[in-house]
């Protein structure tokens, strides 16, 4: 099972918990760009793992992953004030990643008849 395991977020034991990620979010408001870079460094591996899973499932192309990560992080920045600390941070982040993928997919001009099942599958993630 771990044979294909890469050096990714899912393989590490040093990943931050919900409280630490929430603290980083709060730190961004107080310390600005430097804290924002720290937050990006901590969430990028999780976003990358999510999007790589979508590539493996055929819902995204490998060359789109970095752009999707950047888009998702921009949305995170925009929605930062809306974050509810009672919601697990990772669940909130993955919802942003899913919505970003759907938005990207829709803007690529993909057929709406395929978007509905895709949306249902991604909402289940």
Could you read off the pLDDT of 108-125 as tens digits, one per residue?
766 544 455 555 555 554
pTM: 0.74
User: Are 64 and 104 a contacting pair, CB within 8 Å?
Assistant: yes
Supply the mean pLDDT for the chain: 80
Kindly report, residue by residue over 26-38, the tens digit of the pLDDT. 888 788 888 889 9
pLDDT at residue 118 in the model: 53
Rounded average pLDDT over 62-68: 95
Kindly report, residue by residue over 79-114, the tens digit of the pLDDT. 988 988 888 999 999 999 999 999 988 787 665 444
b or e along 15-54 (b: 16 or more beta carbons within 10 Å of the residue's beta carbon)?
Answer: ebeeeebbebbeebeeeeeebbeebbebbbbbbbbbbbeb
CATH no. for 15-124: 1.10.1740.10
pLDDT at residue 65 in the model: 96
pLDDT at residue 27 in the model: 87
Residues 6+ apart with CB under 8 A from 48: 8, 9, 65, 69
């Amino acid at each position: 099972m771990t044979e294909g395991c890469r050096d990714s977020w899912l393989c590490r034991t040093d990943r931050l918990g919900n409280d630490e990620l929430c603290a980083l979010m709060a730190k961004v408001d107080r310390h600005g760009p430097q804290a924002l870079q720290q937050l990006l460094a901590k969430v990028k591996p999780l976003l990358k793992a999510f999007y790589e899973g979508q590539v493996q499932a055929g819902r995204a192309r490998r060359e789109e992953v970095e752009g999707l990560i950047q888009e998702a992080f921009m949305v995170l920045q925009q929605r930062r004030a809306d974050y509810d600390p009672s919601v697990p941070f990772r669940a909130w982040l993955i919802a942003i990643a899913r919505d970003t993928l759907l938005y990207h997919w829709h803007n690529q001009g993909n057929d709406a008849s395929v978007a509905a099942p895709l949306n249902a599958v991604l909402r289940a993630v």
